[in-house]
Amino acid sequence: MSARPRKHSLTLRGHRTSVSLEDEFWSAFRQIAEEQSIAINVLAARIDEERGTDAGLATAIRVFVLAHYQTRLEALEARLENPA
């Protein structure tokens, strides 16, 4: 587990920006983009558009990753409680 965030460059709508995330978040973020068959820059741009001004992009990505996996867990739990 990495304690320190690592900075990576992303291109959002033609503009370069840097985002600092822990390795585990980068890995999960890349995996989600692959699952959705989109580039990580496209996913980051979507998150950036939806985040508003209350949170920075790195925070918005972390919250997105957490929400993604919470939703998956809830779906799995629902299937286990109500098998078809």
Q: Which two tokens stand for residue 27?
A: 């890995």
Place of tokens 């980068």: 26
pLDDT for 1 equals 62
The domains found in the chain, sorted by start residue, are 6-81 (1.10.3990.20)
In eight-state DSSP terms, residue 11 is E
Average pLDDT score over residue span 29-52 = 94
pLDDT for 67 equals 96
Q: Which residues pair with 48 in a beta bridge?
A: none
pLDDT score of 12 more than 80: yes
User: Residue 84: which pLDDT band, with cuts at 50, 70 and 90?
Assistant: low
pLDDT score of 83 more than 80: no
